[in-house]
Amino acid sequence: MAGRGRPKNESGSKGGANLGFEAKMWLAADELRGQVDAAEYKHVVLGLVFLKYISDAFEEHRSHLAKTYPDEAEDRDAYRAEGVFWVPKEARWSFLQANAKQPTIGKAVDDAMDAIERDNPTLKGVLPKDYARPTLDKVILGRLIDLVGTIGLGDKENRSKDVLGRVYEYFLGQFASAEGKKGGEFYTPRCVVRLLVEMIEPFKGRVYDPCCGSSGMFVQSEEFIKEHGGKFGDISIYGQESNPTTWKLAKMNLAIRGIEANLGAHNADSFRNDLHKDLKADFILANPPFNMSTWGGEGLREDVRWKFGAPPIRNANYAWIEHMIHHL
């Protein structure tokens, strides 16, 4: 019998890996909660998880190249051709692990994030880079690095089990529960997302989510296609997210799975700044924030999207519906 307060998903499930380390990471990282706001805490942990994943995948491919094509072991194109992020030396996990106990570890992590963005344009402006801030205890940061270092994330075996994807969703869900409604962010449970995808059945075409959050709808759409024998990439993904930090999480969440998507060049409000004005989607999968009272309706009374009349100014529910209909 599970102990009181023990997080769910602690043991493996069918088709997945044993994720007992989820609970261990959550409990160990509790120490951070007294130092930084919960809304920022997730970026500390998830940033390290992302960094460990791409480093694992890089090192595995590097080992393969060293044995088969040693001249290409430090050739960036040899990694990109296989869909593997290039990780420069100062950003590799082995380097960070070796410096985890140093007082400069915060700056080392920030420099690693900068280096990865520099060498991988698709991640530009996405990764968290505030590990050197004085309020983040470097001893605890070092302990988190040591802990994450014990977890295999990006090697072939764990990629096939989608270990990182499940860890990522676990943490996003846990953080959403921890933060509650304080930040105005809401997390759609995985089971609800899966139900929506199973109902819509997005086998092929353009899929759109105007309030995509951390991109859970897109991840489930891709998984649905693979489970039903479709081809990876049979759908074109379009999304938009207004919260800047959530937009970055969405980009990271898709990047770790190799899913290409057009989420716009930046975060933006779908009502005030529609980044996909000309898009006509085949499927719309969304769970919009209901009952928004301040959505800018007073300045959008004559908008072309309101085919069935202008929505109420103090409630965005019908605005979401008409916005989605406009894009079908």
| Cα–Cα dist 206/186, whole Å | 25
Both tokens assigned to 15: 């088709």
CA distances from 308 to 290, 311, 314 (A): 19, 9, 17
pLDDT, tens digit only, all 328 positions of the chain: 333 333 444 333 333 344 466 666 666 566 666 666 655 667 788 889 889 989 998 999 999 999 999 899 889 899 988 888 999 999 999 999 999 999 999 999 999 999 999 999 888 889 989 899 998 889 989 988 988 888 777 666 665 555 555 666 666 666 666 655 444 455 677 788 889 999 999 988 999 999 998 888 898 888 888 888 887 678 999 999 998 888 988 898 888 777 889 999 999 999 999 999 999 999 999 999 889 999 999 999 999 999 999 999 999 999 999 999 999 9
In terms of residues, how long is the chain? 328
Both tokens assigned to 305: 């999207």
In CATH, 190-326 is 3.40.50.150? yes
In CATH, 21-179 is 1.20.1260.30? yes
Nearest CA-CA partner of 249 in 18, 49, 5: 49
Residue with tokens 């924030």: 289
Domain segments of the chain: what residues? 21-179, 190-326
